[in-house]
Amino acid sequence: MNTLAKEITFASGSTLQLVNGDVTSEKTDAIVNAANRYLQHGGGVAGVIVRRGGPVIQKESDAWVLAHGLVESAAPAWTSGGDLPVRYVIHAVGPVWGEGDEEAKLAAAVAGSLKVADDLKLESIALPAISTGIFGFPRHLAAKIILTTIRDYLDQPKGSLKLVKVVIYDGGMIKTFEKAWHDHIGP
């Protein structure tokens, strides 16, 4: 069961939540998948999303790459939610630590995911800790970038998005995000 750790509502009326739990159990309009450029969902969050959402997510991902090419950080792909309790999965490509310009690429992946949600006229979205698993992005830096990018996006009313959840599965990681929240978002 997912547990709310932190919450703030901005002047724009949009809310940011930090949640300890499983992103695939969120009942938001969309969840974000921490994907690779090829949209091959074998391990990590991506593997869990496809196992729980069903093979349709991989089929739609393959079709996306065939139609649009490899996915870039600033322009996430999207598919249906398959058997998940969401309408869409937004596939964000975060950077691999050491490839260069990682901080800007992570911010672009997060902002791009929020923009896709707005373009799809969604009201809610849940994101995992993009790039912090096998992509090796330092956790404390990722937490700061993810939370401040969302804060900056939500602080300026842009569209339909009213609720953004950052959903963290790992107990140690939630502490890292709570510290970043305290340092960059508020109490």
3-state secondary structure of 116: helix
Phi–psi pair at 134, nearest 5 degrees: -65, -15
Task: Name the residue type at position 148.
Answer: T
Percent of the chain beyond pLDDT 90? 91
Task: Report percent pLDDT > 70 for the chain.
Answer: 100
Tell me: the pLDDT tens digits for 3-59? 999 999 999 999 999 999 999 999 999 999 999 999 999 888 899 999 999 999 999
Quick check: 160 pLDDT over 90? yes
Its pTM stands at 0.96
| Sequence-separated (6 or more) residues with CB below 8 Å from residue 84 | 24, 31, 49, 52, 53
Count of other CB atoms within 10 angstroms of residue 123: 15
One-letter amino acid at 177 equals F
What structural domains and CATH numbers belong to the chain?
Answer: 3-184 (3.40.220.10)
Q: Where are the beta strands (DSSP E) in the chain?
A: 3-9, 15-20, 30-35, 77-80, 88-93, 124-127, 163-168
